[in-house]
Amino acid sequence: MTSSLHYQRHDALLVVDMQRDFCEGGALAINGGSALVPGINAEIATALNAGASVVASRDWHPVDHISFTHRGGPWPVHCVQDTPGAAFHPDLTLPDEVIRVSKATAFNADAYSAFDGTGLGDYLREKGIKRVVVCGLALDVCVHATVLEACREGFTTLLLATLSAAVDPDAIERCCNEMQDAGAGVRA
């Protein structure tokens, strides 16, 4: 499986939250999550071969994170730091040059976007990145927030919808429309 997307040095592929807990068998499993891995691996290889940057974000929650239901949040316990569920999917190919970004690391604050509290926007600008290509999990939560923030940060932004899956498939159309309204391209 190869990508038909043409990457350049001023591009960054942003792979959002491809973690065990978000894939089948995980604490907050998204239907179809594991099936995305081969396509995302091909996208990573294509981007790196073209000299583009690749960033992989992950939820990296402390044990008692505010987003967990027992703390009044909307989500079950998931992606707790240093647990197997927080690890990237075992079949996801992340060479050493892939930049890893951890988000939602504070006890009292949640972060859905890979840009939220991570310094990612400034880092990408320092590297001369102009376009951000986004894929991963979940299209209607963290991918959605990351795409919207990438647009607000001033990057040309493209969502790879076929390499993303949603918690609620019924929300895909609404989320894609919101991303397009914010200026992002959506590649189905």
Residue 93, φ and ψ in degrees, nearest 5: -90, 110
- Residue 37's CB is within 10 A of a number of other CB atoms, namely 18
The answer to whether 142 is a known catalytic residue is: yes
Cβ neighbours for 172, distance < 8 A, ≥ 6 positions apart: 139, 140, 161, 166
Cβ neighbours for 90, distance < 8 A, ≥ 6 positions apart: 20
The catalytically annotated residue of 17, 21, 110, 116 is 17
Alpha-carbon gap, residue 157 to 22, rounded angstroms: 24
The catalytically annotated residue of 103, 135, 175, 176 is 103
The catalytically annotated residue of 23, 79, 135, 142 is 142
The answer to whether 151 is a known catalytic residue is: no
**Residues annotated catalytic, as ranges:** 17, 103, 142
